[in-house]
Structure formats: C-alpha cells, structure tokens
Amino acid sequence: MSAAATPILSATGLEKNFFGVTVLKGVGIDLYPGTVHGLVGENGAGKSTLMKIIAGVYVRDGGDLMFDGRPVNFTHPLQAMKAGVATVFQEFNLLPDRSVAENVFLGREPRKHGFVDNAGMASATAALLAELGIDFIDPTARVSTLSVAEQQVVEITKALSFDARVISMDEPTAALADNEVELLYGIVEKLKARGVAILYVSHRLKEIFDLCDSITVMKDGALVSTGPAADLTTDELVRRMVGRSISTFFPAAIEGTVVGDTVLSVRDGGNAYITGIDLDLRAGEIVGVAGLQGSGRTELAEAIFGAMPLTRGRLELNGSPIVIHSPRKAVKSGIALITEDRKAQGLALDQSVLDNALLVIRGVFPGRTRAARRSVPGVLASLEISSRGLDQEVQFLSGGNQQKVVLAKWLASSPRVVILDEPTRGIDVGAKVAVYNLMRDLAKDGVAILMISSELPEVIGMSDRILVMHDGRIEAELEAGSSEETVLAAATGTLRASSGEVAL
C-alpha cells in the first residue's frame, strides 16, 4: 500500500434509502490496486447495500462513485462487470447443469467463423484458472459436480474473465471449510499480485486480519472508522463493530446448569456416509462437533434426525432403544435439527414469520397448534427478532433474524435433544451472541445439545466436550477448552498416531 497510489475506485458520501428508511448515510470508501480492503460490521450495518451500489445492483440516492478516475453510474450488474467492477455474491450466479467454461463465458461465448468455439472457450478458461493457480478444475466439468469452494473459484474466474480491476467478495468463506479457506487465501494473493483491488466482506475476523491491508468498519448505515489493518486489534475491531469486547462473545454456562442423565446414545452406528459412531448426549450438556467439510458432520446430524437414517448400530433415547427412520419420527421423539442451510432447508421463505414458527407444530403436533399460537409471540420476542410483525415474509429478514425464526420454530416443539448444524453461519455478531445465550438457556433447562460448527473458536468456546470427525468417523473426543491446534490435528487425522487410536 503505497501512499502515493491513487484509488482505482473511490466512493464518497453514498446515500441510500429504502421506503423512506435511510440504510446508508454518507459512506465513503477508497479501494487501491493490489490491496485487500476489509469491510466489517454487524448485519444491517449497510455493508451489503454499499457492495450492491458498487456492483450496480442498487442505484444510489446520493454521493459520488469514481472508477479509474472517472465518475460512473452503474445501473446494472453487467455494466459494472464490463467496466471492470465484479462482485462475487454469496449466492452464486452459476448454471449447475452447464460446464465451467460455459459458465465463465456465458453471454460472451468466443466464436470462430460465427460458431461458438467450444475448445477455445475451454482452453481460455483453463488459462484463467491457471492464473489463479488452480489446476484441478476441469473446464469441461459440469458445475454441479464441483464442491462449493470450487464453484466459488468459478465465480472468481468469471470475474477475472471480464478483466476485473475491482472484485468485491461477500462472505466468501461462509460456506467453506478450513482447508478450503487456504485455497481462497492463495487466490486472493494471486489477485493482489495482478493489481486487482479487493473489497472483502466477512464476519470472520481472523480472515480480515490475515488478508486485509486496510479495514472499514460500519455500523447502522454509517462509517465508524477506516484505516490500516495494522492499527487495529481484534478486541478493538469487535468493540467498534458492536460496542462490546470479545470476552463477552461466548457466554459461560448459566449457574445451576447440571449435566444429567444420558438422553440419547448411539452405539456403533453407521450408514452409507458415517461409520462406527459411539455417542452420548446428556441433559444440560453442549457437545461440539468439529471436522473438515465432508468429514461427515452434517451426515451425523442427519443420521440421528432420521433424514439419512442409521442402517447399522443401536440408538437409544432416554434409555430405551428406538429406530428413527424419518425426521417425523425424530420430531415426535423430541429431537430438533437446525439445518446448515436455513434458506433451503430451514424456512419457507415466502411465508410469514408466524407460519414458519408454527411449521413444526402444525406438521407434527397439530393438536398443539392453538397453544403454540399463543406461546409463539413470546418465544419470538424472547429471541429479540426484529421484524415488522408476525405476518412479515421471512425472506425480507436479515440472516440473523431468519436464523432466530428457525430456532423459534424448533423451540415451539419443546425438544429434549437439539442438534444445531452451523448455527451462526453468515449471521452478525449480535445474532451470534443471541444464539449462544439461547444454547446456554436450553442447557440450563436440561436439553441435550449437539452443535456442529466450522468455526473452531465457537466449538471451543461453547462446548463441554468436543467430538472431532474425520473421514466419516469420530476421530477423537476432546475435553472442553482444547486448543485449536489439537482440534485441527484430529480433524486432519494427524492426531491418530499420538493418541494411539487406530481406525480399523
């Protein structure tokens, strides 16, 4: 970051209103070639709005946007892309049934003698991928066969194919496992070396400090601070974002929480995706599950919940054997699963807050609907959901509030075992803390909790015991407060030799 450099993109005094509500108040940001600029703030702070104005998705109500020394007015994302301002959104804009190359060049397919040059398109894509240091993605592979991380690489390649000079990334690691994050780091370095300016939005502060040269903090639609990353500490950053320090991040167990009897136990359980599972969940205990993406964490949750039932081994609930062959059976038995993907699996997006909150009750315990109708507003209020009312469609809520609706939906069924799969993915710090507090409350009430998470600090900060999965097995059981290094070693299978635990 040389002080003499001029910004490639410079925004000053950006304003945006939605239906009379100001969501962006005079925010400015400067992006310099070859640098990474972090943008942090709680959800609702206006980060997305700022990004979308730069990307041409929204038209600003006030302020100026300069790109490459000229004022610009992007009114369509494509216009911004063509000018050299690309955005990698959380929801990918890819066609799953088309090949990598066809996606990268969609709408600009190279032609030879008037016909699409498929071979040339594939080799051009391979060349772009090579520039990012990627040699394991086949340009002719269908996008649906790629992992989430690889699909993200395709999005970035698409941006690169427009010769983008500014690339905004919205929560690029939200759906990635730790080893995949390394890949993204590598790509960001490559982009920097090319002189691309990167606007990096993330809730993961570690990444912000790892990657960013400068950091802009936003709160309530306004700018809090902007400056070199070196001048900030994690504590200071969190304080600026939320007005409280990181020590309050993970609440301690509530006084009076007792670890009681075993509620659910699995002995030598397995199915097509996991095997040799031995597991005990006790009332009032929070058990964390760590592991790399694809290690079988989600599959473990789905097996217990009956979505992908166990085909081997025994499952006991409150001491008596039970076969859970469907989610319906699981719900009836008092098990709840807060899924990883709340939009696809947790919510009916175009239904109201109330309808979503009553979904489980109506579906499984219709007799309790009347009672639940009365209790749900209280549950929602206790979760501090900010919505315009119970009849607002959940698609218009922020990620954190949507997650709270999912939680409310399950709390309404009064479960005894709650499984949370990535409960804080893509939600802001305030909502995260609300989720943590809720978990502690549930534990206090004697609920057994299984929490799956990719974020190690979260697993370590919240769990009474930590299970680490690797290759479809529970690789290790670690005690509360284990170090990140130990958990990672188990997750990558390198702990095996030292612990003497050998998988058959």
Partner 1 sequence: MTANTVTGLTSPRRRIRLDSTVIVYIALIGVIIVGALLVNSVGRNFFSDGNIRDILTGMSVLGLVAVGQTLVILTGSLDLSVPYVISLSSLIAAETMRGSAANIAQGVLFALLVAAIIGLANGLIVTKLKVNGFIATLGVGLMISGYLGTMYKGSAGRVPAEFQVIGATGIGPVPISTIIMLALAGLVFLFLRKTRTGHHIYAVGGSVDVARLSGLRTAQPVIIAHIICSVTAGMAGLLLASRLGVGSPTVGSQGGYDLLSIAAVVLGGTILAGGRGSIWGTIGGVAIFAVLDSVMSVMQVNPFLKDVVRGIVIVAAVAVYTGRAIQQRRARFATRATTPDASTATEATK
Give me the 174-203 binding string for partner 1, x by CB under 8 A, dash otherwise: -----xx--x--------------------
Task: Tell which one of 26, 34, 63, 77 touches partner 1 (CB under 8 A).
Answer: 77
Decide whether 429 or 490 has the Cβ nearer to partner 1.
490
Distance from C-alpha of 134 to C-alpha of 409, rounded to nearest angstrom: 42
Helix (H) or strand (E) holding 14: strand 9-18
115 touching partner 1, by CB under 8 A: yes
Task: Tell which one of 50, 149, 223, 419 touches partner 1 (CB under 8 A).
Answer: 149
Question: How far, in whole angstroms, is CA 461 from its chain's centroid?
Answer: 18
Joined tokens for residue 414: 């009064």
DSSP 286: E
| 3-state SS string for 224-272 | EEEEEHHHCCHHHHHHHHHCCCHHHCCCCCCCCCCCCCEEEEEEEEECC
291 touching partner 1, by CB under 8 A: no
Q: Say if CB 165 and CB 82 are below 8 A apart.
A: no
Joined tokens for residue 356: 């979503």
Joined tokens for residue 311: 């085909």
Decide whether 143 or 385 has the Cβ nearer to partner 1.
143
Give me the 361-400 binding string for partner 1, x by CB under 8 A, dash otherwise: ----------------------------------------
Distance from C-alpha of 107 to C-alpha of 97, rounded to nearest angstrom: 16
Decide whether 80 or 459 has the Cβ nearer to partner 1.
80
DSSP three-state, residue 116 = strand
Decide whether 19 or 136 has the Cβ nearer to partner 1.
136
Task: Tell which one of 44, 306, 415, 472 touches partner 1 (CB under 8 A).
Answer: 472
312 touching partner 1, by CB under 8 A: yes
> First vs last Cα of the chain: how many Å apart?
53
Task: Tell which one of 43, 49, 216, 271 touches partner 1 (CB under 8 A).
Answer: 271
Interaction residues for partner 1, span 87-106 (CB under 8 A) = 93-98, 102, 106
Task: Tell which one of 185, 249, 250, 273 touches partner 1 (CB under 8 A).
Answer: 273
The interface region with partner 1, picked from 142-150, 206-214, 351-359, 400-408 by CB under 8 A, is: 142-150
User: Shortest distance, CB of residue 81 to partner 1, whole angstroms?
Assistant: 8
DSSP three-state, residue 117 = coil
145 touching partner 1, by CB under 8 A: yes
Task: Tell which one of 5, 59, 116, 193 touches partner 1 (CB under 8 A).
Answer: 116
Task: Tell which one of 50, 160, 274, 324 touches partner 1 (CB under 8 A).
Answer: 274
Residues 6+ apart with CB under 8 A from 388: none
Decide whether 5 or 272 has the Cβ nearer to partner 1.
272
Number of chain residues interacting with partner 1 (CB under 8 A): 48
Helix (H) or strand (E) holding 191: helix 178-193
Place of tokens 């983008």: 164
Choose among 204, 272, 254: nearest CA to 449.
254
User: Shortest distance, CB of residue 53 to partner 1, whole angstroms?
Assistant: 16
The interface region with partner 1, picked from 109-117, 214-222, 238-246, 436-444 by CB under 8 A, is: 109-117
User: Shortest distance, CB of residue 158 to partner 1, whole angstroms?
Assistant: 9
- Count the residues in the chain: 504
DSSP three-state, residue 79 = helix
Place of tokens 């409150």: 318
Q: Return the exposure string of 227-250: e unless at least 16 CB atoms fall within 10 Å of the residue's CB, then b.
A: eebeebeeeebbebbbeeebeebb
Joined tokens for residue 25: 């108040």
Joined tokens for residue 149: 């991380």
User: Shortest distance, CB of residue 52 to partner 1, whole angstroms?
Assistant: 12
Task: Tell which one of 270, 284, 334, 415 touches partner 1 (CB under 8 A).
Answer: 270
Task: Tell which one of 2, 136, 344, 502 touches partner 1 (CB under 8 A).
Answer: 136
Joined tokens for residue 28: 């400015």
118 touching partner 1, by CB under 8 A: yes
DSSP assignment of 387-424, as one string?
-S-TTSBGGGS-HHHHHHHHHHHHHTT--SEEEEESTT
Task: Tell which one of 296, 306, 415, 426 touches partner 1 (CB under 8 A).
Answer: 296
172 touching partner 1, by CB under 8 A: no
Binding site for partner 1 (CB under 8 A): 77-78, 81-82, 93-98, 102, 106-109, 111, 115-116, 118, 135-136, 138, 140, 145-147, 149-150, 179-180, 183, 268, 270-276, 294, 296, 299, 311-312, 471-472, 503-504
